[in-house]
């Protein structure tokens, strides 16, 4: 049992190091929005039952809501599916932002307090206190009033 705990802790530690490394290095070859905000490549979400969730990480001081629509458009499939979800984890601001399409051309951008290690399981992502919930135009990236 002790051996299993040690192995689990090592796996968690390595996962966190990879997340921090990818955040610091960022995506140097992707769309400009990745470079501008030091965003990592999107990764699959552990235990995502839909297979349609992706998350990326950053350490920028810019709130994710300011570039969430642009990032969603850059890294999610443009195949007309309306159920792809992007999660942006900002370790500097300690926030988790969930971006999901709500209609053609608009996305909901919901920002939460980040819970430690929530990136390790789909069931815990976005479980922190909701800080904001806004709608953005996917083409312009501008906030919509409703």
pLDDT band at 57 (very low <50, low <70, confident <90, very high): very high
* Per-domain boundaries in the chain: 2-144
**What does the mean pLDDT of the chain come to?**
81
Predicted pLDDT of residue 131: 97
In degrees and rounded to multiples of 5, residue 104 shows phi and psi of -60, 120
Predicted pLDDT of residue 129: 96
- pLDDT digits over 70-103, tens only? 889 888 766 555 688 999 999 999 999 999 998 8
pLDDT band at 5 (very low <50, low <70, confident <90, very high): low
SS (H, E, C) 46-104: CCCCCCCEEEEEECCCCCHHHCHHHHHHHHCCCCCCCCCEEEEEECCCCEEEEEEEEEC
Report the percent of the chain where pLDDT is more than 90. Answer: 48
Residue range 37-45: average pLDDT? 88
Predicted pLDDT of residue 17: 45
């Amino acid at each position: 049992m002790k051996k299993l705990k040690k192995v689990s802790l090592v796996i968690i530690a390595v996962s966190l190091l990879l997340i921090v490394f990818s955040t610091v290095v960022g995506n140097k070859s992707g769309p400009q929005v990745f470079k501008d905000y030091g965003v990592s490549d999107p990764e699959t979400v552990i235990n995502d039952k839909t297979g349609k969730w992706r998350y990326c990480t950053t350490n920028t001081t810019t709130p994710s809501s300011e570039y969430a629509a642009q990032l969603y458009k850059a890294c999610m499939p443009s195949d007309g599916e309306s159920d792809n979800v992007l999660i942006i984890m900002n370790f500097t601001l300690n926030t988790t932002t969930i971006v999901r399409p709500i209609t053609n051309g608009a996305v909901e951008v919901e920002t939460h307090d980040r819970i430690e290690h929530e990136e390790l399981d789909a069931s815990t992502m976005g479980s922190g206190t909701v800080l904001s919930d806004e709608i953005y135009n996917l083409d312009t990236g501008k906030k919509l009033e409703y």
